[in-house]
Amino acid sequence: MSPLIVLTLLTLASADYWSERAKLVNSDSSHAIGSSIVLTEKEQQVNKVLMSHKLKEYDDGFTDPHSFLPSIHFFKSKSGIEASPVFDFIRKLPKGASLHSHDTALVSFDYLYNLTYRENLYGCVVKNRLQLHFFDKKTSGECEWELVEDLRSQNSSFDMFLKSQLSIIVDDPTTEYPSITEVWNRFMDTFGTVFGLVTHRPVFQDYFYQSLKELREDNVMYLEFRGLLPQVYELNGTTYDHMGVTKLYIETLEQFKRDYPDFHGARFIFAPSRNVDNRTVEDYVSITKELKQSFPEFIAGFDLVGQEDRGKPLIDFIPQLLELAETDTKFFFHAAETDWCGTSTDMNLFDAILLNTTRIGHGFGIVKHPKILEEVKKRKIALEISPISNQVLKLVDDLRNHPGAFLVNSGFPVVITCDDPSFWGAKALSYDWYLAFMGFASREGDLRMLKQLALNSLHFSVMREEEKCDALATWEEQWEEFLDIVLAGNTISVNQIL
C-alpha cells in the first residue's frame, strides 16, 4: 500500500475519531439542567458577559486549586464569593422562588444581631449557652436574667460572646467541628439561643417581614418555608398558639404584599421535630388538619425536621402519616441528609417516595439508590439542594464532590435552596446559587442552567396553576429587564428588576 493511501486512510480515521468524540461530548452535555433551552440573541449576548467571568474564575481555580471557592469551606470563602463578578451577576438575576428554609434562621446574621439592641431584652447564661428573652421587668428564677444593655456596658467582650451564640461561624471549622455530631450540637444550641429572641411578638413579625424583604432584594419573588409554629409571647404574658402564630404570619405577609405588590406571596410547611414519640406525631396530625382547614391558602403541607441520623425515621410514623395523606396533605420530607447508606436515615428516601412526597429536602444520599433516582425523575419530585448547609454541616468538604453535581448534570428535577442562612452568614439565595453554578455545573455550564433553575423554582412550587402562570409571566418580564440592563452595562438595582 502506497504511503499516500496510508496517509489518506489515517486522515479519514482521524476525522471519524474527532467526529465521534464531538458527538459523545454533545450527547453527554445534553442531559444537564438547562440544556434544552435555546438562548435568544439577547440571551446569547448576556451569556457572553457571564461566561467571560466564569471561565476566568474557573480556569484560575484549575491553575491554583486552593483558590477555587467551591472547594473551600464557606466560612473562609465568603469574602471571595462576595468579590466575584459571577456572584454579582447571580445576585442581580431574577431567581423565582425560595423553597427550602427554616423559620428562625431566615434572615441575615447582621439583622439577627441588631435585634439584640431592642429594649427589654434580657440574657442569661446556662452551661455556657446564652438564653435570651424579653421581659417588662427583671425576673427572678432559675436563670439570673440581666438586661442585655447592662451586660454590654459591664463587659467589653460580651458582644463577641453574643455573636458567637447567634451563629455557628468559627475561624477554624475543621478543628472546632471534627465530626457531624459537634457541628449539629452547636447548630441546635444556636436555635435554642435565638428562640427567645425571635418569638417575642413584635420581633417575630418584624423578623418575618425582614426575611421577605431580604429575599425580594435578592430578586426572589415567592417563598415556601418550614417552621415549628413556636409559642409567641407578648411582654404582658399573653401567648399565641399554633393558630395565633399562623395568623401573625399571614398578617405580616399581607402587609408586606401591600408594601411590595410585586412580591407573589409565601406559604408555610408545618415542620415540627422528628425526635418525638408516636403520640406527639398524632398531635402533629391533628394540628395540621386544623391548620389546613383554617388556612388552606397559606399552609403548603407537612415535614419532620431535626438531625436525621439522631432523630426518628419516617418508618416509625407510617400509620400517622398515612392518615394525614388521606386528607390530601402534601409532604415535603427531609430525607437522606446523611453520608451513610442503608441506615434508617438513608431509608427515609424510600418512605418519602411511598408517601408520595411533593419534594425532598436535601436528598444527599440519593445517588446511591438507582431505583429512587428513577422514581424521582419519573414522578418529577424536586430535590431541594442546599450546598452551603451540606458543607458546613459536614456532609461534604469540596462542593465539586457534592451529589448535586451528578444531579445537575444529569437533568434531575433540582431546585437550589438556602436552608438556614442566618447561622452561617449567608443571605437569601445567591450564595447557594453561586456555589451550585461554579461547583456543580460543568465548566461550560452557562446562562441556560441559571434560567432553568429559576424556572424550576416556580414550576416545583405549590402555587395554584393560575397563580403559577401569573408568577411565570412576571418572572419573564423581570428576566427581559435583567437582560436589557446587563447589555446596557448599567448598575442593576432591585427596583429596576422587580
Beta bridge partners of 200: 233
- 200, 264, 334, 362: which is the annotated catalytic residue? 362
* 358 neighbors 381 (Cβ within 8 angstroms): yes
Q: How large is the C-alpha radius of gyration of the chain?
A: 24
Q: Which three cell numbers stand for residue 302?
A: 407537612
What is the secondary structure of 32-100 as a DSSP string?
Answer: STTTT----HHHHHHHHHHHHHHHHHHHHHHHSGGG-GGGS-HHHHHHHHHT-HHHHHHHHS--EEE--
What is the secondary structure of 97-122 as a DSSP string?
Answer: EE--BBGGG-S-HHHHHHGGGSTTEE
Burial class for 35, CB neighbours closer than 10 Å (0-12, 13-18, 19+): middle
* 143 neighbors 124 (Cβ within 8 angstroms): yes
What are the helix (H) ranges across 318-464?
A: 318-325, 344-354, 370-379, 387-392, 403-409, 430-439, 447-459
Residue 418: which of 107, 84, 182 has the closest Cα?
Answer: 107
* 307 neighbors 343 (Cβ within 8 angstroms): no
Beta bridge partners of 214: none
Indicate the pairing of strand 129-134 with strand 121-126: antiparallel
- SS3 of 365, please? coil
334 has catalytic annotation: no
DSSP class of 441:
S
Give Cα separations from 54 to 48, 68, 445 (angstroms): 10, 12, 9
Residue 347: which of 326, 320, 372 has the closest Cα?
Answer: 372
- 334, 337, 369, 459: which is the annotated catalytic residue? 337
Indicate the pairing of strand 121-126 with strand 146-147: antiparallel
DSSP class of 141:
S
Measured between alpha carbons, how far is 218 from 210 in angstroms, rounded to an integer? Answer: 12
133 has catalytic annotation: no
Q: Which three cell numbers stand for residue 369?
A: 439508590
Measured between alpha carbons, how far is 111 from 102 in angstroms, rounded to an integer? Answer: 16
* 431 neighbors 421 (Cβ within 8 angstroms): yes
Q: Which residues are catalytic?
A: 337, 362
